[in-house]
Structure 1
Amino acid sequence: MEGVWKSYGARSVLRGAYVRVEPGSLQGVTGENGAGKTTLLRTMVGELTPDHGEVHREGEIGYCPQEPTVNPLLSVSQHLELFRVAYGLPDTGHAQELLEALGCPAAMDQQVGTLSGGTRQKLNLVLALMSRPALLVLDEPYQGFDWDTHRRFWHLARQMRDDGQAVVVVSHLLHDLQHFDTVYELRDGVLVEGVRER
């Protein structure tokens, strides 16, 4: 993203935002509530068009929004099959491995509407990850996770980073900052960079 501006009416949310996400990196975005973090991510993945500036993307992008985008009437396995076809994958094996890595209970045939909020969020996350995209953009992806699943998520994020994927995570939790290679704070519409050691 180079010099990206985004406004809603008279309110400028992004003011010349610049960020470069390299393969094999784990980057964090923090900021106060209402600072524009979700707008930043939605612009990054192409859901929103910047008013000014440019966004360059290479390779496939996986996006996990804050709110689950799953269908409550479909089962977990139906979701996996639907996205398998959409992604052109030969099978759902990797998705099932991801569910297992996140400690997801064996609920493949359950309607998603009957699952707990944390389990729905696990599925939401897996749907973004299952095609092994080059860039993963995750907006507070662990909403509703218990502590064990939270730890499992960060193990998975480091694993994806080490496999060469680029991972961007919005977080408001101070203890998460230790996990990032680079942390950006969105302040007054501008991204301020601070480097964290692995």
Structure 2
Amino acid sequence: MESMTPDAVTRQAFDAAVAATVLEASGVEKSYRRGIWPLRRSQQVLRGADLRLAPGEVVGLVGENGSGKSTLMKILVGALTPDAGTVSVAGKLGYCPQEPVVYERLTCDEHFELFARAYGLSADSEHRARRDLYETLGFERYAGSRADQLSGGTLAKLNLALALLPDPDVLLLDEPYAGFDWDTYLKFWQLVEQRRQAGRAVLIISHFVADEERFDRIVQLREGRTT
């Protein structure tokens, strides 16, 4: 049997680590301009944040309000451009923002159809996913209801379902619990566990973590840096 040199072993370990990463952010920096001229100033929110997700990993990103959690999330999904640093994602990405991105005059069914087209899903795939998500989250009776007629809790379910629709390899959730009742909260964690078992990565942003044992890791964001 051929022996491996230390350099070869190190390289093999590095290649395995890279292959096992579905999302990686390195040295992310972001500043905002505040105020009006001539008193305008720059406020740095992120100062070199790093983050890595592996398949089947459930990670919590926590920090105080204003710590830059949502800014980092928007950079991860491509909604914001960082001032410095890199972000790479392997596979499909699903994003559940803190504020639902919905169209008031469209029904739940119409939202599924619209987002499915954006994701490039076939009609059969969209129908199956829609049926399963309605059943799992328990809001099928609102399929024909417009978004502006939904309660906050049902709107939160629709927001989550649209992020889950393409069965993403990486699911990013920004304060997903808002508006959930206890039953929906438990269903949410069942969904997260199913994704873990299927080898899907989940990142959950929150200003606090109540059920730490449900996470594989907790990442703290303080003063613009992750620890």
Normalised to the residue count of structure 2, the TM-score between the two structures is 0.81
Map 1:20-35 to 2 at 5 A: 20-35=52-67
- 2:213 matched residue in structure 1: 178
Q: CA offsets, 1:39-75, max 9 Å, x none?
A: 0101111111111111112111111100011111111
**Alpha carbons of 1:95 and 1:142: their partners in 2 closer, same or farther (altered >3 Å)?**
farther
Separation in 1, partners of 2:190, 2:108 = 23
In the alignment, does 2:38 pair up with 1:3?
A: no
- 1:16 matched residue in structure 2: 48
In the alignment, does 2:127 pair up with 1:127?
A: no
Extract unaligned runs of 5+ from structure 2.
1-24, 34-41
- 2:142 matched residue in structure 1: 107
SS in 2 for 1:20: strand
Q: CA deviation at 1:96?
A: 2.4
**Alpha carbons of 1:59 and 1:121: their partners in 2 closer, same or farther (altered >3 Å)?**
same
Separation in 1, partners of 2:209, 2:203 = 16
Separation in 2, partners of 1:26, 1:7 = 28
Map 1:130-145 to 2 at 5 A: 130-145=165-180
Q: CA offsets, 1:115-154, max 9 Å, x none?
A: 1011011101111111011111110112101011011101
From 60, 68, 88, the equivalent of 1:56 is 88
- 1:65 matched residue in structure 2: 97
From 76, 79, 96, the equivalent of 2:108 is 76
Provide runs of 4+ in structure 1 moved above 4 Å: none
Q: CA offsets, 1:86-126, max 9 Å, x none?
A: 22222321122122212225111111111101101110111
Q: CA deviation at 1:176?
A: 2.9
SS in 2 for 1:158: helix
Q: CA deviation at 1:81?
A: 1.1
Are the equivalent residues in 1 in contact too, given 2:49–2:224 (CA < 8 A)?
Answer: yes
In the alignment, does 2:111 pair up with 1:87?
A: no
RMSD: 1.2
Is 97-106 or 71-80 further displaced after alignment? 97-106
Are the equivalent residues in 1 in contact too, given 2:68–2:224 (CA < 8 A)?
Answer: yes
Separation in 1, partners of 2:190, 2:128 = 19
